[in-house]
Amino acid sequence: MILRIDRLQTELPPPSDPDPVGASAVQELLGGKFGEMSTFMNYTYQSFNFRSRQQARPFYDLVASIAAEEFGHIELVAATINTMLTGAAEGEPGEAGDLTSVKGTRNTQQFIAGGAGALVQDSMGKPWNGDYVFSSGDLLEDLTHNFFLETGARNNKLKVYEMVEHPAARALTGYLLVRGGVHQVAYARAIERLTGAELMKMFPSPRIPTEKIPECQPHIQRGEHLKLYRFSVNDYKEIAAVFNGPHPETGEELRIADEVQPEGAPPFDLPPQEAVFAPGPEPEEIAQIAARLREAAGLPKEPTGVVANNGAGVLGKVKDALG
Amino acid sequence: MILRIDRLQTELPPPSDPDPVGASAVQELLGGKFGEMSTFMNYTYQSFNFRSRQQARPFYDLVASIAAEEFGHIELVAATINTMLTGAAEGEPGEAGDLTSVKGTRNTQQFIAGGAGALVQDSMGKPWNGDYVFSSGDLLEDLTHNFFLETGARNNKLKVYEMVEHPAARALTGYLLVRGGVHQVAYARAIERLTGAELMKMFPSPRIPTEKIPECQPHIQRGEHLKLYRFSVNDYKEIAAVFNGPHPETGEELRIADEVQPEGAPPFDLPPQEAVFAPGPEPEEIAQIAARLREAAGLPKEPTGVVANNGAGVLGKVKDALG
Amino acid sequence: MILRIDRLQTELPPPSDPDPVGASAVQELLGGKFGEMSTFMNYTYQSFNFRSRQQARPFYDLVASIAAEEFGHIELVAATINTMLTGAAEGEPGEAGDLTSVKGTRNTQQFIAGGAGALVQDSMGKPWNGDYVFSSGDLLEDLTHNFFLETGARNNKLKVYEMVEHPAARALTGYLLVRGGVHQVAYARAIERLTGAELMKMFPSPRIPTEKIPECQPHIQRGEHLKLYRFSVNDYKEIAAVFNGPHPETGEELRIADEVQPEGAPPFDLPPQEAVFAPGPEPEEIAQIAARLREAAGLPKEPTGVVANNGAGVLGKVKDALG
Amino acid sequence: MILRIDRLQTELPPPSDPDPVGASAVQELLGGKFGEMSTFMNYTYQSFNFRSRQQARPFYDLVASIAAEEFGHIELVAATINTMLTGAAEGEPGEAGDLTSVKGTRNTQQFIAGGAGALVQDSMGKPWNGDYVFSSGDLLEDLTHNFFLETGARNNKLKVYEMVEHPAARALTGYLLVRGGVHQVAYARAIERLTGAELMKMFPSPRIPTEKIPECQPHIQRGEHLKLYRFSVNDYKEIAAVFNGPHPETGEELRIADEVQPEGAPPFDLPPQEAVFAPGPEPEEIAQIAARLREAAGLPKEPTGVVANNGAGVLGKVKDALG
Amino acid sequence: MILRIDRLQTELPPPSDPDPVGASAVQELLGGKFGEMSTFMNYTYQSFNFRSRQQARPFYDLVASIAAEEFGHIELVAATINTMLTGAAEGEPGEAGDLTSVKGTRNTQQFIAGGAGALVQDSMGKPWNGDYVFSSGDLLEDLTHNFFLETGARNNKLKVYEMVEHPAARALTGYLLVRGGVHQVAYARAIERLTGAELMKMFPSPRIPTEKIPECQPHIQRGEHLKLYRFSVNDYKEIAAVFNGPHPETGEELRIADEVQPEGAPPFDLPPQEAVFAPGPEPEEIAQIAARLREAAGLPKEPTGVVANNGAGVLGKVKDALG
Amino acid sequence: MILRIDRLQTELPPPSDPDPVGASAVQELLGGKFGEMSTFMNYTYQSFNFRSRQQARPFYDLVASIAAEEFGHIELVAATINTMLTGAAEGEPGEAGDLTSVKGTRNTQQFIAGGAGALVQDSMGKPWNGDYVFSSGDLLEDLTHNFFLETGARNNKLKVYEMVEHPAARALTGYLLVRGGVHQVAYARAIERLTGAELMKMFPSPRIPTEKIPECQPHIQRGEHLKLYRFSVNDYKEIAAVFNGPHPETGEELRIADEVQPEGAPPFDLPPQEAVFAPGPEPEEIAQIAARLREAAGLPKEPTGVVANNGAGVLGKVKDALG
């Protein structure tokens, strides 16, 4: 089972100019064959289906804990898309013409099915599906798959990085390239441990050094390209048995993070989008009901959740930005 | 982001007689339109896409924390399927005829694509897909959907309960009916809070009291039908503002659990299935490599993971049972 | 728009021995690429999308009125499947083991998703989809398609006739072969009218004379193989301009029916199947509510609907048959 | 079975400026998960699969007759799309460059697969599929679904209303919002009748009063928001037992229409689009053949069908408009 | 089995101005229901599944050899798409903004999943699928299908011809219309042979004479509209028994080509597209490795493959053209 | 383009006892994600989309020629399925009950859609689709994919080998394991050549030596595990630059075959299956027409095609076997 921490694994910029067409491209990193839904679900099901866990514990722990990190990745991609869609559908609910600005956007369902929100689809609007999950039960083969999957994922992140200039997309891909790179190394190393085959010479794949991407630099400087988190307080201790040795690109030593998970950052509380009824055509009414319920339950008057834009000042600035 | 706890939310029986045809039916509860992938992913994406979280905090917290519980549910269904498949494909790897016993099973891909393992498919082998996720951004509408989804899920659990007699399937459905019932109530209550509409008279739906199911009784006796967990150490504190009042079937008071999550139980370490190469045609080789890696990393000689059948005795019994 | 008549186009036998495996095969005639959903929807959308209707009126009328007949065909196939499933899932709702008899059936979703009911799927459980509809807008091409579609449909009906021995399936295929045969002729004749190409020599296709099928005989004797109905009180009068000339197999003259639609027969009121909650776990409660509502609305005490088994005697016999 | 009436349930404006991008968005209301194909097919199959009809007659009649109305809705959406596409692909058949104007349109298949015509797809080009049909056999659950489905459908109609400014789309959504609203109320009322739960407080959902939409006003003024039609000459008399009581938004009394179906309006005879071969590259040839066939069959010289633009004057005006 | 000849069946122009939106439309001719994947795979599987080949040899040979030609057609469509995409994604690999020029293109996966390359999808990004293959085993029915398929394919080619002005698309459709026309005639003639039905009056279908398309003229002048190739050195000799008689449009005599296959033309060696990593972010490195491997294997220093732009001069011109 | 040779790449046994359930499992090797359609189409499209062919010629030649071999593999799998289905549907066409023997088979569409024939589906009846094709344009990544694909394919072949005992399935998997193994080595070697990474230690994967499979032995003894064919008379000469060095399992030297393609064997001329109308309900009629056409075209009286069971004796034996 899992516990949630209501923080993002890395900071994302606040909404700025909306970019719905860019957001439709970013969907590839969420619901595409090589998107984060695929990495999350592949490793999750491989961990569920793992037989003989005790005897193969270091490998089980590796797959299971990386799976946990990937939840944070789908969360980040969704947050990015939502950020990019914010402000794209301004206007009054039920007012003719309010959404004409997105009539020609590439993914209309972000507005018709969703409330200017992320979908579980790829960049062509095709839904992610469960047959993207490879879980053969054969450890070596699953690892081979995972290495390939991370390679494809890295390719797609690089392409989206090149394609979409929105600051949120840049921040996202910068972070994912670094962390996905760690997973790519982890699976290659696991194969090495299991077979002796030297896969490190295949890095970087695609053959573009991660360090050349400016948006990756801050994360590299914090050593995020070298460490694996356990994403568990008590479990998955044996990842250390697999994830070690030199990094294939930099030669630095790989290591297990001291922290259970990255500190991350609180999410941005994205503003309502009334024209698409999110969180409703009249958000104020919901706010009042929520306040009353809070009070009746003896909760503090102010919301207890922590968000990036808690202070009025920040919120105001966003509203200006979206003006 | 999430942290994983390597325990199941409830105890499942160990493998006994295999039941691959039954396991193909249980898949409906995993990858079906009303399966746990749907509950997990619907609430997860609704929480990701939630706009104006602070102002609607009690509702956001409700959806976000139930989402976290649902991860435990996909884990349980997968564990059940894997348990039921254990022993169905006994034999030597690469030996002609070893899998003829499952040639006519309803879901051949559990053995051909998987290693006697769960798939992200429904009972007809159709993959779960992302368009099963409803995330309109409109809070009232999302809640209406969620109430309907839980109703459909309850229907499907009851049907699978009636259809599949394997002890693991019985234990699974007994637990899920109770916990899914809590979610069904939670969403109905949230709609009541938001609109004043009295939905409690719709319970139970389908019109079969949960307490009549013998396998639900142990959980009801522990009060599991009354409480919501936060599934977070620090967050989602405002669920208390929505989830309260009398239970529609029993009249008892709903409440927030003191514990962050259910104590649960360690998973069963399912035995290898060599004929389907899980975790490989020669599990012993993997075990030896794992032991060496553990040693080299300075980890204890014995695996650090906790599983239900840690003691040799239990493992032996399983082997006998599968004998 | 349409009006409904609550009768089947032909009589079907009452439920007898259930045949869920057979019913899963009959689904091909409902939701398969060449099933009745396809004929219904193809002609319906071709009529919706028809340009220059006035100038091409005889052809428009032909397609539009055949479309209307096809609604009756999906109704018949569904009724057949429902008849065949009746009694397959006997037992008490919520009782473990009640559905084990269908655990291994080919289409579990007829029971898990449905209440022993028809699905919009083919014989492999794949849903019918809108891309089965061909509506090019080019009249000659649409007619070419329709002739091919009816040929494929006839093939599938013959195969299901050979494959499924249940009396309802026999009655169904006997009727559909005759009426589908009329449509196959109609489209071929329309192509002849438009191009002069002689397609009548392609009959029968597949090369099995309809008259050889015993279950077709009663319909042939009533002349059902020769006439087209308008399925409209006031419209589609110009079908007579296309549908005439000799029948390719018998040489008899084709003609427009005097009646607007076949007289048909009242549907069978299929008994509840409590184990799958149809119409609910406790049908009696629904019946009582219905009776009260009827009374409050000033309606007769007895249900106003006409069904095949209205009399208590008949209903009793069915119950015996299902006993 | 059904009879067709060759009229639309409401009047639509004639073709004006084409809007293929808008038409691709309107597809969501036809083939989307919450489009009219879904409402039509859900209620149709629920009526086919209804068990114990006699005892639950008022509910059966309700579902069956609403199903019939929904056929008229798919017809209206298709007519709207066809209207919006008219003129978008002007030019000569087989002439290079004639369709370059729509090379970049969102749904190319409206022109390549179709003849500037509606498809059975959603706004992303994904085909409608049969697994959108929910027919559990459990009356209460089916009604719960239907209420949810209508809520989602209302959401989508409002979004498309905001997004697409073409007069045909406006007229369409104005009408569908009113009539779909009636169905939403009908299913909520049915649940109330069955359980006593008060759902009326959930209206309007989404929380935008229907009366605020200008395009809804003419229909509201004719009382179309209050009445249910039987859509059958002899059947479905018991809908009166369920559909009554006050309208949740206006408090006016709900009632059964005196007429069997709305009077509606004749459809527009949409002009040929030669560049996409609809009804053929040379419509004149078809017209001549049709005239000859009519004559040979003893039919009147003029087409017998009734269309909105029968008179030369109207037709001329359209041609000018498309100029 | 097959042998490959590394030549295209007809000459295509070199890359010029890129046209990614046009290329997304051309995909319909590759992966659409009526695209070349469908013709290739339909005839291929019909030949695989053909029963009683010896007794029906002329028909088997016809289907089998046309299947072989269709491989050349998928090759041509892919080459066209690749040509049209060349230059659309210029820039440096891993450089932010390099792909923004195609952020809004209709098929983003041509760049994200592919390296500015063709996909096995239709014009809406939906993948081709195996249920597009019709192989009933009934010869007459398969031929009926094939005639219909070629008719639909001809329709789609004409539409794409009208829609996409890029020289490569024009050259492609000009060629495919002629050769597909031959197949349409071949299947119609086969039906005539089998049944006596006169289908030749249905030509041309759609009703646009092939000879009116300027891009078809060069191929017609070489007689490509009259001859069938065997596409086999030793087999398929009996096609002559079916494919003969007058051409339905021109009256000229159909005949079997003296050559086994068309001479065709060498493919263009399309230049690297570094921004999408094709054939890699650093093509020079691959080239050097290839040169070394060639040398080590005793192969000539220069590549042995024959391409249209072998000479430096041509390559230079292309680079200029792509400037 | 391609030329066809009407021979199978290896000999298959004649029809014996039919095994439709086994044949439904073998479908995984045809239309499954890791089936031969996937290997065939992946390499084919990678060769189509290959940029900078001349500079990377040895790699292009490798992918292009292996693609050609894979056509022979889909042919072999289809032939196997057809062989296994022969005799399963004996009986008279149009006779009720003739197909009841396969009413419960796992893949009914082999009989309803097909004529006891192979489908382009996997073992669950899901169609193969074009998104199974990975063609990133990045050579290293495509090769990584191909190595993974061959590994998954080897896994599935081994599983089907274990699962299906029919002699045709055994012969098929024995051959495919050897030849697929060559491709797995070829792609691993190509990666080595490109990066220096030593992948040979990953063999065998799955970890079952090929030589242990008795049905592989005859092919190994002929050296089929060591050589690559060019499958082209004039092209693909540079495969020698990549495919060389020691075999990872045996240490023997890899080499390019002297022959262009394997000699193979003539296909079996499978007998008619009248009950499913293959090649028609009355095959004799087709045979007579074929004979007349042959004569009219001046062809020999006897069919010119070469099949395994040309002599009457053999054919007779088959008929006996099927008796």
**Tens-digit pLDDT profile for residues F189-213:** 999 999 999 999 999 999 999 999 9
Give the per-residue pLDDT at B311: 56
Q: How far is D109 from chain E (nearest CA, A)?
A: 7
CB–CB contact B99 F28 (8 Å): no
**Average pLDDT of span F54-62:** 98
Residue-wise pLDDT tens digits, D276-295: 999 999 999 999 999 999 99
Instruction: Enumerate the β-bridge partners of residue D2.
Output: C4
d(CA B34, CA B153): 5
- C213 contact F CB<8A: yes
Q: Which residue has the higher pLDDT, B276 or B320?
A: B276
Q: How far apart are the first and last CA of chain E?
A: 43
Question: Chain centroid to CA D284: how far?
Answer: 30
- A217 contact E CB<8A: no
Instruction: Report phi then psi at B208, rounded to 5.
Output: -125, 115
Q: b/e for A96-134, b at 16 or more Cβ within 10 A?
A: bbbbbbbbbbbbbbbbbbbbbbbbbbbbbbbbbbbbbbb
Residue D249 backbone zone (phi > 0: left; psi -120 to 50: alpha; other: beta): alpha
**Average pLDDT of span E115-141:** 98
The residue written with tokens 């079906």 in the block is B32
Residue of D nearest to A96 (CA): D162
Q: Which long-range contacts (CB under 8 A, 24 or more apart) does A158-161 make?
A: A158/A206, A158/A208, A158/E93, A158/E94, A158/E277, A159/E99, A159/E111, A159/E112, A159/E276, A160/A25, A160/A26, A160/A28, A160/A29, A160/E112, A161/A213, A161/A215, A161/E94, A161/E96
Task: Using DSSP, state whether A130 is helix, strand or coil.
Answer: helix
Least confident of B176-190, D88-102, F105-119: D88-102
Whether omega for the bond prior to residue A279 falls within 30 degrees of 0, making it cis, is yes
Q: Which residue has the higher pLDDT, F241 or D310?
A: F241
Residues 223-252 of E with CB under 8 A from D: none
d(CA F299, CA E240): 8
The pLDDT confidence band at residue E275, using thresholds 50, 70 and 90, is: very high
Q: How far apart are the first and last CA of chain A?
A: 42
- Judge whether residue B309 has pLDDT over 50: yes
Q: b/e for D302-316, b at 16 or more Cβ within 10 A?
A: ebbbebbbeeeeebe
- B21 contact F CB<8A: no
Bridge-based pairing state of the strands D2-4 and D255-256: unpaired
**Which residue type does E7 have?**
R
Residue-wise pLDDT tens digits, B8-25: 999 999 999 999 999 999
Query: Along the 323 residues of chain A, how does pLDDT read in single tens digits?
Result: 999 999 999 999 999 999 999 999 999 999 999 999 999 999 999 999 999 999 999 999 999 999 999 999 999 999 999 999 999 988 899 999 899 999 999 999 999 999 999 999 999 999 999 999 999 999 999 999 999 999 999 999 999 999 999 999 999 999 999 999 999 999 999 999 999 999 999 999 999 999 999 999 999 999 999 999 999 999 999 999 999 999 999 999 999 999 999 999 999 999 999 999 999 999 999 999 999 999 999 999 999 999 999 754 444 444 444 44
**Average pLDDT of span F239-257:** 98
Nearest to C276 by CA among A113, D138, A86, F249: D138
Give the number of other CB atoms < 10 A from CB of residue B209.
13
Give the per-residue pLDDT at D311: 56
Please state the ipTM of this predicted complex. Answer: 0.96
Burial (CB count within 10 angstroms: exposed 0-12, middle 13-18, buried 19+), residue B312: exposed
The residue written with tokens 């066939």 in the block is D293
Q: Could you tell me the CA-to-CA distances from F161 to B125, C156, F177 in Å, in that order?
A: 22, 32, 10
Q: How far is E309 from chain D (nearest CA, A)?
A: 28
Give the per-residue pLDDT at D318: 44
d(CA F118, CA C280): 42
CB–CB contact B138 A278 (8 Å): yes
Q: Which helix (H) or strand (E) holds E2?
A: strand E2-4
Give the per-residue pLDDT at E311: 56
Give the number of other CB atoms < 10 A from CB of residue F49.
27
- Judge whether residue E317 has pLDDT over 70: no
Q: Do chains A and C touch (3 or more CB pairs under 8 A)?
A: no
d(CA E276, CA E283): 11
The residue written with tokens 């991350």 in the block is A264
- Judge whether residue E316 has pLDDT over 80: no
The pLDDT confidence band at residue F8, using thresholds 50, 70 and 90, is: very high
Nearest to E135 by CA among E63, E62, E82, E213: E63
- C62 contact B CB<8A: no
Q: Residues of chain D with pLDDT > 70: what percent?
A: 96
Q: At what angle do helices C283-296 and D167-195 cross, to 10 degrees?
A: 110
**Average pLDDT of span E243-247:** 98
The residue written with tokens 């077709």 in the block is C216
User: B199 to chain D: which residues are within 8 Å by CB?
Assistant: 197, 199
Q: Could you tell me the CA-to-CA distances from E33 to A233, A266, C287, D119, E38 in Å, in that order?
A: 53, 48, 49, 14, 6
Residue-wise pLDDT tens digits, C192-201: 999 999 999 9
- Judge whether residue D155 has pLDDT over 70: yes
Residue-wise pLDDT tens digits, C101-155: 999 999 999 999 999 999 999 999 999 999 999 999 999 999 999 999 999 999 9
Output the DSSP codes for A138-178.
-HHHHHHHHHHHHHHHHHHHHHHHHH---HHHHHHHHHHHH
Q: Which helix (H) or strand (E) holds C81?
A: helix C57-85
The residue written with tokens 């081994």 in the block is F158
Give the torsion sign (CA, A69, A72, A77, A80).
negative
Give the per-residue pLDDT at B90: 85
Q: Residues of chain B with pLDDT > 90: what percent?
A: 94
d(CA D190, CA F97): 45
d(CA A318, CA B54): 15
- Judge whether residue D183 has pLDDT over 50: yes
d(CA B171, CA B214): 10
Instruction: Enumerate the β-bridge partners of residue F256.
Output: F228
- Judge whether residue F12 has pLDDT over 90: yes
d(CA A185, CA A187): 6
Q: How far is C118 from chain B (nearest CA, A)?
A: 15
**Average pLDDT of span E54-83:** 98
d(CA A31, CA A129): 8
DSSP secondary structure code for residue B32 in this structure: S
Among candidates A22, A170, A214 on the partner chain, residue whose Cβ is nearest the Cβ of E103: A22
Tell me the whole-structure pTM to 2 decimals: 0.97
Nearest to B293 by CA among F207, A137, B285, A260: B285
The pLDDT confidence band at residue C311, using thresholds 50, 70 and 90, is: low
Output the DSSP codes for B147-209.
HHHHHHHHHHHHHHHHH---HHHHHHHHHHHHHHHHHHHHHHHHHHHHH--B-GGG-SSSSS-
Give the torsion sign (CA, B171, B176, B179, B182).
negative
Q: Do chains F and D touch (3 or more CB pairs under 8 A)?
A: no
Q: At what angle do helices B57-85 and B36-48 cross, to 10 degrees?
A: 150
d(CA D23, CA D17): 12
d(CA A243, CA A246): 10
Residue-wise pLDDT tens digits, C64-104: 999 999 999 999 999 999 999 999 988 899 999 899 999 99
Give the per-residue pLDDT at A323: 41
**Which residue type does C267 have?**
P
Q: What is the mean pLDDT of chain F?
A: 95
Residue D164: both structure tokens together:
């697409």
CB–CB contact D152 B138 (8 Å): no
Q: How far is B194 from chain D (nearest CA, A)?
A: 9
**Angle at CA D6, nearest 5°, toward D2 and D12?**
125
Give the number of other CB atoms < 10 A from CB of residue A66.
29
Bridge-based pairing state of the strands A227-228 and A255-256: parallel
Residues 244-303 of E with CB under 8 A from D: none
Q: How far is D152 from chain B (nearest CA, A)?
A: 7
Nearest to E271 by CA among E73, E18, E11, E9: E18
Q: At what angle do helices F57-85 and E283-296 cross, to 10 degrees?
A: 80
Q: What is the mean pLDDT of chain E?
A: 95
Nearest to F296 by CA among C188, C154, B218, E242: E242
Q: b/e for B3-31, b at 16 or more Cβ within 10 A?
A: bbbbbbbbbbbbbbebbbbbbbbbbbbbb
Which of the residues D124, D161, D170 would you substitute to probe the A interface, choosing the one with the greatest number of A C-beta atoms within 10 Å?
A: D124
Helical H runs in E135-202? Answer: 139-163, 167-195
**What subunits touch chain A, counting only 3 or more CB pairs under 8 A?**
B, D, E, F
Q: Could you tell me the CA-to-CA distances from B229 to B224, B233, B257, F261 in Å, in that order?
A: 10, 10, 5, 66
